[in-house]
Structure 1
């Protein structure tokens, strides 16, 4: 194996395993084979055929065991990953678990995951129950599990197979992925992410995972499973990677690629996970968090920094008027908790400057009174050295000229002034 500074050798496991559980009260009345046969016409045939073949092979086992023989599933973690009270109640009432396990070699397709999830979903549907994905510690409704499986072209939404949890530490947010090990790849992590990038950086992690997973499976395409796959030290991610990972390739055009440096972070504890760390590329000046914010500004419309104009034209004037007319309504939704889950509200406001106002974005954290907004800056201001990425800011509502609601794919509501700029209708400036 050739080792260079441009590539990082990542070890390949000898085999991969998938485990899914179906909690049941009593014993299933329908055989597993009959349940899987009932999926005919509802699954893409390559996956349906794969599930039937593995069910008849030594690569898959399906056992029904008394629930007391299995380690207790932690309700707190299940809740943290989205379990509902109804699902937890059904788990508490279960007397048995149907355990679906499959094993396969690393590579594409991940037959162990696709077949095991399909079989578990078929069993859960036959007993009006749930699927528990042991790897992700997630409940899946049978129909959701089936929708996550590949279509006729073998396409999946990667967001259905990996999670991106995060937690706070002294340097900001620590993001990790949970799900890449299904495919044999080490999980990713990023540390020191500014707090206001919670949703955006989760999407960047998902898009990067999609890009690296493609490189990973390309390296496993031969007949023999290699001991290592060489991944590029400088990984790239684009808006298209993010959109494909979320299953919406038509909703995001091409963006400039963002570079991320890949570092192997091996665990010192044999029971802990090793990670592939995402860092700014070599030579980047300043703190890592500043680079992450700039990367998000490149990949997502609506939080671009340093937008200036001195004499707005008609299109921009109308955009500002539209945005300001909606401030009362968006504040009411924010205060009442009526915004979409995991969305981020940002506002654009003006800072005085010698060459006219400078307009910057801030993520909203509190809006207790109509006249004043508390938030964190989403960009560095050129005219005010105290306004830096991640720094707390207090914004007078009278200074706000636009607002936008962001999710992992970009602007979902608002952003009228940005739409004018993106359309090329830039007003005159004194710059």
Structure 2
């Protein structure tokens, strides 16, 4: 094995396992094979065939057990990963669990995950119940589980398989991935992320996971399973990686690439997991958080797409007024093609929400009339499920609170509200 400063050797496990549960009140009334046959026409045939083949092989087992024989599922963690009260109530009322387990070698396709999830979804669909993904500690209704499986071309959305939880740390937010181990790869982590980049950095982590997973599975493509796969120490991530990971490859234009350095963070506890740290490239001298903010600006043609303002202080009010006063001039430059080369114009605007407006960024694609802008969203919105990264949006000029001209390094002009946030003058929370 060649070890250089350019590559990081990551160990390859001998085999991988997937476990899915279907809680039931009583015993199943429909056989597993019958339930899987009922998926005909609802599941891409390559995956349907894979599920049937593995069900008939020693690589998969399906057992029905009294629920008390299985370790208790922690309701607090299930809730943290999205479980509803109805799902938790059905789990509490269950007397039995159908346990679907599958094993396969690392590589692509991840047959153990695809087949086990398909079979568990079939059983849950026949029983009108839920699927519990044990790896992710996540409830899935059968329809959601089936939608997450590959289409006829073998394509998936990585966000359906890899979660990005985060928590507060001493110097910012601590992000990790939860799902790369399904494929044999170490999970990612990043620390010191500015707290106003919550959603943007989660998307960056997902895009990075997609890029590294591709390199990982390419390294496992041979007939013989290697002991290590050498991943590049410098991972190159683009907006396209993020768009593909979210299942929207056609909705995202090209962006400048962002470099992230991989560092192995080995676990000191044999029961704990090792991680791959994401850091700025060697030679970057500023705080990590500043690099992460610049990376988000490059990848999303906007900065802090998730920021919400519930009150405006004097500095923020002045920033908004300054941006609005210059809208006519920046529109004229945009229409005249007078913006600097290799730059993009973005605007920040408000979406209505129960707790006040949510402010998101969008790249400007057309500004025919002064009153209305056509663009592409730079982020997923909390308040409007139709506003997703790369989706087409129409912005009323009266809703704009800021604009910026961006190049490959970040904000070149404008961005007054972000400057207020970066200076720490954030609006107070509502009383």
**2: distance between equivalents of 1:175 and 1:293?**
14
Cα deviation 1:231-273 (Å, max 9, x = unaligned)? 0000011000000000001111110100000000000011111
Q: Secondary structure at the match of 1:9?
A: strand
Equivalent-residue separation in structure 2 for 1:358 and 1:236 (angstroms):
26
Structure 1, gaps ≥5 residues long = 351-356, 363-376, 380-386, 396-431
Equivalent of 1:339 in 372, 383, 391: 383
Give the conservation status (yes or no) of the 8 Å contact 2:196–2:304. no
Alignment check: 8 A CA contact 2:200 2:304 kept: no
| Aligned position for 2:99 | 99
When residues 296 and 60 of structure 1 are mapped into structure 2, their CA distance, relative to the original with a 3 A threshold, is: same
2-structure distance, mates of 1:311, 1:71: 60
Q: Does 1:391 align with 2:424?
A: yes
Aligned to 1:366: none
Equivalent residue for 2:414, pick from 359, 365, 375: 359
Whole-Å separation in 2 of the counterparts to 1:101 and 1:391: 50
5 Å-filtered alignment, 1:61-100, equals 61-100=61-100
RMSD: 3.1
Query: Are the counterparts in 1 of residues 197 and 304 from structure 2 also a CA contact under 8 Å?
Result: no
Q: Distance in 1 between matches of 2:8 and 2:168?
A: 28
- Cα offset, 1:182, TM superposition: 0.1
| Residue matched to 2:109 | 109
Relative distance call for 1:333 and 1:223 in structure 2 (3 A) is same
**Mapped partners of 2:272, 2:400: distance in 1:** 37
Shift of 1:331: 6.5
Q: Distance in 1 between matches of 2:74 and 2:353?
A: 37
1:360, distance to aligned residue in structure 2 (A): 1.9
| Cα deviation 1:32-91 (Å, max 9, x = unaligned) | 000001111211111111100100110000000000000110111101100011111110
1:137 corresponds in structure 2 to: 137
Distance in 1, Cα, partners of 2:196 & 2:22: 38
Q: Secondary structure at the match of 2:118?
A: helix
Distance 1:318 1:41, change over 3 A: same
TM-score (norm 2): 0.78
Output aligned runs, 1:32-431, within 5 Å.
32-303=32-303, 312-313=328-329, 315=331, 330=351, 333-335=354-356, 339-340=383-384, 347-348=401-402, 359-362=414-417, 377=418, 389=422, 391-393=424-426
Offset, 1:334: 4.2
Unaligned runs of 5+ in 2: 306-318, 336-346, 359-381, 390-398, 405-411
Q: Supply the distance in 2 between the matched residues of 1:332 and 1:75 (Cα, whole angstroms).
A: 29
CA deviations on 1:185-234 (whole Å, 9 max, x unpaired) are 00000000000000000000000000000000000000011000000000
| 1:285 shift after superposition | 2.1
| 1:136–1:85 CA distance, 2 compared to 1 (3 A) | same
Displacement of 1:120 in angstroms is 0.1
Aligned equivalents of 2:383, 2:40: Cα separation in 1? 39
